[in-house]
Amino acid sequence: MTAATLSARVFEGDPRAIARAISLIEDESPAGADLVRTIFSRTGRAYLIGVTGPPGAGKSTLVDRLTAELRAAGQTVGVVAVDPTSSFSGGAILGDRVRMQAHANDPGVFIRSMATRGHLGGLARATSEVALVFDAAGKDIVLIETVGVGQDEIDIVRTADVSIVTVVPGSGDEVQALKAGIMEIADIFVVNKADREGADRMAASIEAMLSLHAFTDGEWRPPIIKTEATTGKGVTELIAAIERFRAHTAATQGSRRRSRAEWRMRELLAERFLRHVETQVLPAGEFDRTLERIASREVDPYTAVDDIFSRALNR
């Protein structure tokens, strides 16, 4: 199928075309890149909601609740669950299969999980491109579920218009340890499993962390929402918080999308240049030999890069 045919069917919201498009993107095939080229101008309409947090925090359960609530409000939803830890255990995939059943007969929902293929950088790009596919297919909301708050996950979350960081009672140490990363990405905090002992203490420790930051006038202060994803308690409040954030950032959404574009451009350009160097500029094996020479102090990294760079430019 040509990119044009496939994209035409994606625009119609055809689930099989969506599935096919996502597979092409996952495989990092040139056909996937062609598809992105074809659909890109018709994207930018969907609102992207990122949900991150440690394994077992209840993200999938929460995403499922959010999906149900958004559907009830008449919104169409695409879900992409990225789980770098699930490639072998299959646990998350199994959970997702159960979820998919709940929405199986609803054409307004499309759920897809992706496990890591060894390099998370690629996963971040794949995630944002899957979001583009949902967007092109007319989904109003794209929910992106991802595990953890390491740098690579931060890159995934950066894809979103709003980032929700999910924690659970009793993980206060975790919050402390991840403070810097969390502050950077959280637009909304969720303390899930609020039915458990210690939810208020958890909320208070996030509050204490926030109070260290001097919020300027009109700056968004991340709210802390307590939820019980299993029963759905607090989910209405969470949606309300998302809507408040969306309204608050409506004026600045352009600059958020611009910095997202900048990040992707830099990444693609760096990757393209590096691939060019590795495949076109250096003879086979030279990259590795250069690493050896640096390791054995025969050459320093700056000189090595100067040399490669000038050879790349003089071709």
Ligand X SMILES: Nc1nc2c(ncn2[C@@H]2O[C@H](COP(=O)(O)OP(=O)(O)O)[C@@H](O)[C@H]2O)c(=O)[nH]1
Per CB under 5 A, residues contacting Mg ion are 59-60, 92
**Could you say whether residue 55 binds ligand X (CB under 6 A)?**
yes
Member of 9, 20, 59, 103 binding ligand X (CB under 6 A)? 59
Asked if 144 and 158 touch (Cβ cutoff 8 Å), the reply is no
Asked if 55 and 95 touch (Cβ cutoff 8 Å), the reply is no
Q: How many residues bind ligand X (CB under 6 A)?
A: 16
- Binding partner at 184 among Mg ion, ligand X, none, C-beta below 5 to 8 Å by kind: none
Q: Which of 269, 284, 173, 166 is nearest to 227 (CA)?
A: 166
* Binding piece for ligand X, criterion CB under 6 A, among 14-22, 38-46, 48-56, 72-80: 48-56
**Could you say whether residue 222 binds ligand X (CB under 6 A)?**
no
Q: How many residues does the chain have?
A: 315
**Could you say whether residue 61 binds ligand X (CB under 6 A)?**
yes
Member of 152, 153, 155, 228 binding ligand X (CB under 6 A)? 228
Residue nearest to ligand X (CB): 58
What residues from 243 to 302 belong to the interface with ligand X (CB under 6 A)?
Answer: none
Closest contact distance (angstroms) between CB of 222 and ligand X is: 19
Rg (CA), the chain: 21
Closest contact distance (angstroms) between CB of 84 and Mg ion is: 11
- Binding partner at 61 among ligand X, Mg ion, none, C-beta below 5 to 8 Å by kind: ligand X
Q: Tokens 């992707």 belong to which residue?
A: 264
Q: In what order do the strands lie in the sheet with 162-167?
A: 109-115, 77-83, 141-147, 47-53, 162-167, 188-191, 224-226
Angle between helices 15-26 and 3-11 (to 10 degrees): 130
Which residue lies nearer to Mg ion by CB, 24 or 77? 77
Burial class (CB in 10 A: 0-12, 13-18, 19+), 239: middle
**Tokens, residue 36:** 């992105």
Q: Tokens 């574009």 belong to which residue?
A: 261
**Could you say whether residue 65 binds ligand X (CB under 6 A)?**
no
Q: Which helix (H) or strand (E) holds 44?
A: none
- Binding partner at 229 among Mg ion, ligand X, none, C-beta below 5 to 8 Å by kind: ligand X
How many CB atoms sit inside 10 A of residue 29's CB?
Answer: 12
Member of 15, 56, 90, 254 binding ligand X (CB under 6 A)? 56
Residue nearest to Mg ion (CB): 60
- Binding partner at 169 among Mg ion, ligand X, none, C-beta below 5 to 8 Å by kind: none
Site string for ligand X, 164-193 (x = CB under 6 A): ----------------------------xx
Handedness of CA 254, 260, 262, 264 (dihedral sign): negative
Closest contact distance (angstroms) between CB of 113 and ligand X is: 10
Helices (H), 40-144: 59-72, 86-89, 91-102, 120-136
Closest contact distance (angstroms) between CB of 118 and Mg ion is: 20
**Could you say whether residue 67 binds ligand X (CB under 6 A)?**
no
The rounded distance, in Å, linking the Cα atoms of 53 and 35 is: 31
Which residue lies nearer to ligand X by CB, 79 or 154? 79
Member of 3, 46, 57, 160 binding ligand X (CB under 6 A)? 57
> Interface with ligand X by CB under 6 A: which residues?
53, 55-61, 95, 192-193, 195-196, 228-230
